[in-house]
Structure 1
Amino acid sequence: MKLYYSPGACSLSPHIVAREAGVELQLDKVDIKAKRTEHGADFYQVNPKGSVPALELDNGELLTEGPAIVQYLADLNPESGWAPANGTPARYRLQEMLGFINSELHKSYSPLFNPATPKAVRTERENSLRNCYALLEQRLASHPWLVGDRFTAADAYLFAVTNWASHVNLELGDYTALAAFQQRVAARPHVRAALEAEGLVAKVTV
């Protein structure tokens, strides 16, 4: 299988999950602005959406959207526990958290990366993000991980997205449980391996 990624983008999440679950992946770096792969291919020919992550399966099919990809990868090694078993309450809690991160955090960051975003919109998005992080802070103050008592794909996704805060000057210093969470995730050997592979170790926000 091949994972199309961009260093530090949300594709870091499936990259981490694959390493944690022991799933072998070929990595193909994508220049998101130019829409070209590191081997010079037109990325739109790979993924018409033009976004990462994109996972090319062994049968040639393409799977897109991070929340779907991380669950697929985790399910390839169900004994790893990186996604609870399908049909269980814990699996629905995982999907609930992946959906929350995707819709409320991930997409709220997007306009903050655009220098043309009006100040009023930027302020509204920053306030929205802080409100969402306040909810997660409550959870992480009493639980080491987002779902159950072990690291899951949701934790990888939150880690990857929250690492963007310093890049858009979003101050999260008041969220001490969140900072401790980022430290815990960054210290995991497979997470560090993924960060090193993407050249990101020195850029982790904690």
Structure 2
Amino acid sequence: MCTSGSTETEDELQLDGDEELYADFINNKVVMTIPNFVDQFGADPGWMQAAQASKQVCFNDIGNCIKAEKNPPESKAIPRVVMYPAYDLEMGISNTLVCFVTGFYPIPIKLSWYKNSQPISDGVEVSRYYPNDDFTFQIFSEISFMPKVGDIYSCMVEHSSVTDLITTIWEPEMKTQSDAGKTAFCAIGLTLGLLGVAIGTFFLIKGNNCN
């Protein structure tokens, strides 16, 4: 998959909607994404050569289509951003914070991390682009962090589909005893309510049988 105005391309092999391998054009190699115990038939060097040829054909076809359609406006899709911790949150215990971006077109896209309005540069990991079924893309970035009440993390996304930055904010919240009490109270109330329905149904059926 390639897009006009960008040198970044994607070529992958899927089976039943699951990716098995993709072509890493930067390092000129095939990367397997299936477990090692599966027959890795796609790792043949010829597949990488075919991917390189497909890449060139893709760019040639894009140029011809643009000329034929007299430079139509490029389609754009606005990204959707979600932030979440990778593991159950415990204050003072190291965790991973994920910024997941999906539904955007075209590539590329830029992600930036901030903690309490200060940029984060160390330890930032960014995935490659993954294609969606609707020809948009998704990507995710993650950082390691130590949850602390009062800290504010933000993931800023820059994309050609919007003029302003898309900023998503996340901050760790610790459940209080009050929250736990409310949850327990609701659970007890639900249990009593279901018990009342069961008892009422029992007497209703018994009364009908007596009649």
> Where on the TM-score scale, by shorter chain, does this alignment land: which range?
under 0.3
Higher helix proportion, which one? Answer: 1
What is the TM-score when the length of structure 2 is the normalising length? 0.21
Find the structure with the greater CA-based Rg. 2
Q: Which has the higher contact order (CA 8 A, sep 6+)?
A: 1
